[in-house]
Amino acid sequence: MARTVTTLTRFNMTSLALGLAFLYLPIVILVIYSFNASRLVTVWGGWSLRWYHEFFNDRAMLEAAWMSLSVGAVSATLATLLGTLAAVGLARGERFRGRALFSGMLYSPLVMPEVISGLSLLLLFVALNAERGFWTVTIAHTTLTMCFVTVVVQSRLTALDRSLEEAAMDLGCDPVRAFLLVTLPLIVPAIVAGWMLAFTLSLDDVVIASFTTGPGSATLPIRIYSEVRLGVKPEINAICTLVIALIAVIIVIASFASKLSSARGESAAPL
């Protein structure tokens, strides 16, 4: 089939530029201003790495960043474990009574307003008399992000040919070994993508974290939010630029992982 090469007309160019500007101009401004030498956010004072330097010397900010990264890593790992198990149960398990209800409940955090999830978790932790801090935020984020992992992994599992597992069993694997030797290697990219998604969601969250965290253990977004209320410091721009860079890297890795995953899926399909 002949592929038609379309050249961009002036109209297309303009609309594309406006659309991209609408989405990315604020971020570009933020990134540029993070290299601003001036103390005043809105006044350009020349290029400088001053605010990055400032951030790496700001202990409270660094602690918040560390808190966010560790909450993200631990909650993403827990969510990936639980989410993958749920996906396997839903995609491969026998049809059990209440399966529809179960999967509906599993996916409810996707649509549940965060304020409600945050508040209900706060009430739970208060009722349990749990000390609020690292673990409460981690648990809260696990419940928030688990369903995203399930969505990603379950769609991969459903697309995977069932007869691959049957072939493994036919060739001498018990069901557990068939899963470990055949299914797992084929869904690893989806699991990696799920982890990345969970990690970025956790890194990004303000609402649920602010409900479930305790004094002295603020995550980076909470810290930034409270700083900004006292007036925007150029240091915040520098932190945000770093977060954007980190998330961009993760998104690129995750998209490569899911591309790899679907490429493997194609080869698994019959002729």
Partner 1 sequence: MPLLRIEGVAKSFGNFRAVDKLSLDIRAGEFFALLGPSGCGKTTLLRMLAGFETPDEGRILLGGNDIAQVLPHERPVNMMFQNYALFPHLSVRDNIAFGLRRAGMARKDIATRVAEMVALVKLEGLEKRKPDQLSGGQRQRVALARSLARRPQVLLLDEPLAALDKKLRESTQGELMELQRRLGTTFVIVTHDQEEAMTMAGRIGVMDAGRLVQVATPRNLYEAPASRWIAEFVGDINLFNGQVAARDHGRLTVSTTEAGTLAVSELWPPVTKVAVSVAIRPEKVKLSRRAPASDEGASRAINRLEGVVTDVNYLGGVTSYRVKLESGAVVRASMANTARLDVDAYLAGQRVVAWFTADDCLVLEQ
> Which positions lie near partner 1, rule CB under 8 A?
161, 163-164, 166-174, 177, 181-182, 185-186, 264, 266-271
Alpha-carbon distance of 205 to 220, in angstroms, equals: 9
At closest approach, how far in Å is the CB of 8 from partner 1?
36
259 within 8 A of 193, measured Cβ to Cβ: no
CA dist., res. 30 & res. 3, Å (int): 40
Inter-residue contact 147 to 90 (CB < 8 Å)? no
CB of 169 to partner 1, least distance (A): 4
- Distance, CA of 111 to chain centre: 16
Phi/psi of residue 53, nearest 5 degrees: -60, -45
The residue (of 91 and 137) whose beta carbon lies closer to partner 1 is 91
Amino acid at 38: S
Q: Which CB atom, from 95 or from 229, has the smaller least distance to partner 1?
A: 95
- Between 31 and 164, CB nearer to partner 1: 164
Minimum CB–partner distance for residue 97 and partner 1 (Å): 15
CB nearer to partner 1: pick between 42 and 267 = 267
Nearer to partner 1, 6 or 267 (CB): 267
Smallest separation (angstroms) from partner 1 to the CB of 102: 21
Q: How far is the CB of 84 from partner 1 (least distance, A)?
A: 18
- CA distances to 20, 166, 185, 268 from 88, in Å: 39, 15, 14, 19
Shortest separation between residue 269's beta carbon and partner 1, angstroms: 8
Task: Give the distance from CA 56 to its chain's centroid.
Answer: 25
Q: CB nearer to partner 1: give 112 or 264.
A: 264
Sign of CA dihedral 263, 267, 269, 271: positive
Cα separation of 236 and 226, whole Å? 11
Between 165 and 227, CB nearer to partner 1:
165
Nearer to partner 1, 163 or 226 (CB): 163
Which residues does residue 47 pair with via DSSP β-bridges, in sequence order?
36
Cα gap 91→248, rounded to integer Å: 31
Minimum CB–partner distance for residue 261 and partner 1 (Å): 11
Q: Is 235:51 a contact under the CB 8 Å cutoff?
A: yes
42-56 as b/e: b if 16+ CB within 10 A: eeeeeeeebbbeebe
CB of 268 to partner 1, least distance (A): 4
